[in-house]
A and B are shown apart, each in its own frame.
With several copies, the nearest count.
Chain A
Amino acid sequence: MKSLRVSVAGIILKNPTILASGIIGETGRSLLSAIEAGAGAVVTKSIGLNVRKGNTNPTLVELPYGYLNAMGLPNPGIEAFGEEMSIAIRGGAPVIGSVFGQSAEDFALLCSRMQKYGASAVELNLSCPHASGYGMEIGVDPDNVSQIIRAVKRSVSIPVFAKLTPNTERIVEVGRAVQEAGGDGIVAINTLKAMAVSIEARKPILSNKIGGLSGPAVKPVGLRCVYELYEELDVPIIGAGGIETWRDALEYMMAGAVAVQIGSAVGKKGLKVFGEIGSGLARYLKSRGMEGLDELVGVAHA
């Protein structure tokens, strides 16, 4: 098997597949199971300062081409999450701590705890489309984002990734703000702000009404974002959105992603999706006589 190793801001992944945030990532053992299944790295559920139960059900709508979710950022709080991290880091793969907050201080505090817990990097969720006051409200303003990145960079020494929302015309501007403030990488994309209505109930299905669309439906949007960001930025980009197969992963890498996150496909295909994508990429490299994935990153810009 050809080497699938990739380096993202200095972090070495044995392959470019990463478990996306919010996907079974609330507990240490679940994160371990994704690593065992072959993920090159895992991202934790987005963790906040305090315990949050999230939204009442329904929190998920199944669509033929993806999911709509409004979990509402449930999490046990950064304090309790230490125990989960101590389990997760035993897996031997990089664990990326995802955090969400309302201010630069929140983010800085959360990230320094994640670093203490052994996270290889932190991922700032600047992009949750359905938890008001958190996420995309703050993630569409370049100045705000810049402030947050600076605060976090002062408080940790591990790489800092910013996860961006596609629900704005300013994604490249925001990405530039991340880079200029010293951010080490960009994750794109989080979910698209969306809704489903039940005509029988005559109301939105999600208790939160609005949620985030993920899965194959958003792949073309994610690819476009990665492509646009790659044109303008120098920091590494991690792609996400609708990746289910090694072909999808390769599309993202050619558009400019050094690694890819996988979320919804874990629901549809199970954890074996990591192994499948990994071996598909290895077969591809072999059939092309290529030594590694690096030479493919961004080739679609030629």
Chain B
Amino acid sequence: MRSQMFTEIREVVKEGKGFTTLRFRFARNALPGQFVMVWLPDIDEIPMSLSYVEDFKGITVREVGVATRALSSLRVGDSIALRGPFGNHFEPSHGLNLIVSGGTGAASLMPVAEVVGDKRRVDVAIGARTRDEVIFENRARLSSSEVRVSTDDGTYGMKGTAVDLARIMMKEKRYDMILACGPEMMLRSLLELSKEYGISCQFSLERFMKCGVGLCGSCALDGKRVCADGPVFRREELESVSEFGKYKRDEAGLKVSL
């Protein structure tokens, strides 16, 4: 085992405005929904979902601050150091799956669409704020029979949120499982929606992560450690979690409203 293991960036893909995919080799088995801790010396070490889980792995970064900006500016030949993969993973249903992605959520969701390996069992709803931020639409089409897009500002696809889109799709078809990742308020609404329809779900959540291995407690979500007990939670788990969609914790462990 080596911790903070360096690997070279082999490919850089600009996915859309502010989104960059970095591809690299990392000889560890990974499953859809798992994440890695990415270290940029002198900057930070941050959690990133694996957007590609096969041999030629990848992460897809949205630029939001110092570390993600530094990551987004890397070029082929540069190196990053990784630990992981960590956490549990998505387990798609053997029936019909609806994948609901908000923003960067697509990063952890694409691998699960691909792992199903049967287009007829996967539909995808991609939500973004605006046209430029829609990512992985074409990738989704390769593994799904139906891909629809919504944007908050209506510049592309349906005008509305990913949840609005999901609602429409759920009216049209009977899904067996909703797999989702995105802003927590979106997931909160999606949980309500899935309860309405009585559909199982698995949502991937984010919390402030330091250790990534279930020790430090910084990623606490009620009594659960998002890094180790999650990041993927089922509907039943989320229903019993008082903090879901309400609070997260900052670096000091203080409660912060979402």
Contact = CB atoms under 8 A, between A and B. Distances in A.
Q: Is the interface of B mostly helix, strand, loop or mixed?
A: loop
Contacts of B210: 54, 57, 59-60, 71, 74
Contacts of B57: none
A246 B252 CA distance: 33
A30 interface: yes
B24 to A, nearest CB: 14
Nearest to A268: B213
B211 A267 contact: yes
Interface stretch (B165-173, B182-190, B216-224): B216-224
Contacts of B253: 26-27, 45, 74-76
Given A26-B220, A30-B220, A52 B252 contact: yes
Interface string A258-278: 000001101100100000000
A24 B216 contact: yes
Interface residues of A, number: 44
Contacts of A22: 215-216
B41 interface: yes
A3 to B, nearest CB: 26
A270 B214 contact: yes
B257 interface: no
A25 B220 CA distance: 10
Contacts of B23: none
Given A52-B252, A80-B254, A60 B228 contact: no
A201 B215 contact: no
A295 interface: no
A69 B211 contact: yes
A64 interface: yes
Contact of B216 (A69, A200, A203): A69
B252 A33 contact: no
Contacts of B250: 53
Interface in A24-42: 24-27, 29-30, 32-33, 36
A287 interface: no
A58 B253 CA distance: 17
Given A27-B249, A29-B222, A57 B215 contact: no
B90 interface: no
Interface in A68-100: 69, 71, 74-77, 80
A25 B44 CA distance: 24
Nearest to A196: B3
B1 A33 contact: no
Contact of B215 (A27, A74, A264): A264
Nearest to A63: B3
A60 B224 contact: no
A282 B225 CA distance: 29
A233 interface: no
A131 to B, nearest CB: 14
A23 B255 CA distance: 18
A7 interface: no
Contacts of B3: 61-63, 196, 205
A198 B1 contact: no
A62 B213 CA distance: 9
B93 interface: no
Given A60-B211, A270-B214, A54 B251 contact: yes
A263 to B, nearest CB: 7
A67 interface: yes
A151 B42 CA distance: 41
A51 B252 contact: yes
Nearest to B219: A24
Contacts of A67: 211, 213, 215
Contacts of A77: 252
A29 B218 CA distance: 12
A25 B216 CA distance: 8
A207 B235 CA distance: 37
B220 A29 contact: yes
B212 interface: yes
Contact of A266 (B37, B42, B215, B252): B215
B240 to A, nearest CB: 11
B4 interface: yes
A157 interface: no
Given A25-B217, A58-B37, 6 more contacts: A29-B220, A36-B223, A62-B1, A76-B253, A196-B3, A205-B3
Q: What 8 A-B pairs have minimum CB-CB distances, sorted nearest first? A: A33-B223, A24-B217, A57-B45, A26-B253, A53-B251, A62-B3, A29-B223, A200-B6
24 contacts: A23-B216, A27-B217, A27-B253, A29-B223, A30-B225, A45-B253, A51-B252, A54-B252, A57-B44, A58-B45, A59-B45, A60-B212, A63-B1, A71-B210, A74-B252, A74-B253, A76-B252, A76-B254, A198-B6, A201-B4, A205-B39, A267-B213, A267-B214, A270-B214
